[in-house]
Every structure is written in structure tokens, then in C-alpha cells.
A and B are shown apart, each in its own frame.
Chain A
Amino acid sequence: KQEVTQIPAALSVPEGENLVLNCSFTDSAIYNLQWFRQDPGKGLTSLLLIQSSQREQTSGRLNASLDKSSGRSTLYIAASQPGDSATYLCAVRPRIVPYSGGYQKVTFGIGTKLQVIP
């Protein structure tokens, strides 16, 4: 059974700092890994999706890396801003099984709650 762990559970940094959020998973047979952002009282918004064949994805100030062999992913946020304050979740989808309907259940981490202090 896939287990996804995110450390730390909470993080507080001053505005302008670069920071790294960590995600680890136990089963390296993955299809893709995705980082989501969740604001209080709202649903999840996809930030970056990394396919199993890729090593990183970038979007603006965000960079996500994937090391399948070690079961790790990191989300790097450059020049953090107060608007980045949210909970960040990592989600792992296992390899597709033929004739299974094309979808394998995603396992989510508990998330890292980030606070960027002005």
C-alpha cells in the first residue's frame, strides 16, 4: 500500500525567503506525482504535475522535482510571498493497470501548512 509523507507538517517563514517542501512515498511504481495547494475553506488547486518519466516541472516561482528511485519529491518556492500561505499537498498516482478503467487511486499526503510572514 502506497504511503505518502510530508514533512514538516507546518512551516513559517519570513517574506522573501526561498523554501522547500518535502514529500516522500513508499512505492516507486508511480504514474505521476502532483502538488496541490489548498486555501482555508476551499478545494484543492493543482500546481504542478510530474510524470514518472520526468525529473522536474516549473511554473513561475515554483519548481517541483521527482526522484522516483529514492521515493522523494520536493516543491521549491522562490522569493516567498504572503499570498503563498496555504496548505500544500503532494499526491501520488500508481502505474496504470491494463483494463482497470484507466485510473488508479491517488494517495494524498496530509500536507504542509505554510505561513509566509510579511
Chain B
Amino acid sequence: DAGVIQSPRHEVTEMGQEVTLRCKPISGHDYLFWYRQTMMRGLELLIYFNNNVPIDDSGMPEDRFSAKMPNASFSTLKIQPSEPRDSAVYFCASGPVTGLGSNTDTQYFGPGTRLTVL
């Protein structure tokens, strides 16, 4: 398996523009997570899906952020309009999460998308 795939790897945009980040999870994983990482706040969970259904989006900072998972192999995180304070690295992760206490209860991270909003 190629692992979690994210695109683009780098995105530079101007304030006010729409940004769409994409993620392809590992096949067979039921859970998909979107994280944001900054120097000041570290890694923060934005939203996660179980079987394509959003379960908890309490980490989404504002209404400008939205996420979708139309099928088991694709998810998007959209920021509209973007602002300079959105500049960060955005990670997508997927995992089986059996809840049975095994060592398969982990998340597999993609390489991230480095977003810069000017």
C-alpha cells in the first residue's frame, strides 16, 4: 500500500482565496482524521470521519473550514476564504481503530500539506 496520500504537498495562496486540500486514506481503514500543526499549538485534531460520516468536527476553527468524505477513498478539507492565520501544515491520517486494545489501534499519517496564506 502507498500509505496515506495528500495533495498538494505545498500550497501558497493569497488571503481571501479558496483552498482545497485532498486526502486518499489507506484502503480498508474506517477512520479518517484531519489535523493542523503549527509551532505554537502543535498538532490539533480538526475533524474525523468514521465510515465516511463526520463524527466530531468540534476542532474545526471556524465556519470558513469544511470537510467532506464522499467515499471511502477520498476526503477534502476546504478553507474559504483563507486567511494568513490559516498558514500551517495540514495532515490527513487514517486508521483501523478496532477499539480492542491491540497495537493496530494507531493512525497512519500522510506527508502533510504545507499551506501558506499571504
List A residues at the B interface (Cβ < 8 Å): 31-32, 34, 41-46, 49, 51, 53, 89, 93, 96, 101-103, 105-106, 108-111
Chain A to chain B contacts (Cβ below 8 Å), 10 pairs:
A32-B105, A42-B111, A43-B111, A46-B106, A46-B108, A51-B101, A102-B50, A102-B98, A105-B45, A108-B43
Task: Tell whether, in the assembled complex, residue A102 and residue B97 are in contact, meaning their CB atoms are under 8 Å apart.
Answer: yes
Report yes or no: B42 in contact with A101, Cβ–Cβ below 8 A: no
Whether A103 lies near B55 (C-beta < 8 A) is: yes
Chain B: minimal CB distance from A28 (Å) = 17
Contacting pair B31 A103 (CB below 8 A)? yes
State whether the Cβ of B4 lies closer than 8 Å to any Cβ in chain A.
yes
Q: Which residues of B (55-81) have their CB < 8 Å from a CB of A?
A: 55-56, 59
Please tell me the number of chain B residues within 8 Å of chain A, measured between CB atoms: 26
Interface residues of chain B, those whose CB is within 8 Å of chain A, are 4, 31, 42-43, 45, 48, 50, 55-56, 59, 91, 93, 97-99, 101, 103, 105-112, 114
Report whether A105 and B56 are in contact in the complex, using a CB–CB cutoff of 8 Å.
yes
Measured CB to CB, the closest approach of chain A to B25, in angstroms, equals 13
Q: In the complex, are the beta carbons of B109 and A49 less than 8 A apart?
A: no
B106 pairs with A34, CB closer than 8 A: yes
B85 to chain A, nearest CB (A): 18
CA of A105 to CA of B112, assembled, Å: 19
Give chain B residues whose Cβ lies under 8 Å from the Cβ of A42: 111-112
A-B pairs with lowest CB-CB distance, top 4: A43-B109, A102-B99, A108-B43, A110-B42
* A48 to B, closest residue via Cβ: B103
Q: How far is the CA of A109 from the CA of B109 in the complex (A)?
A: 16
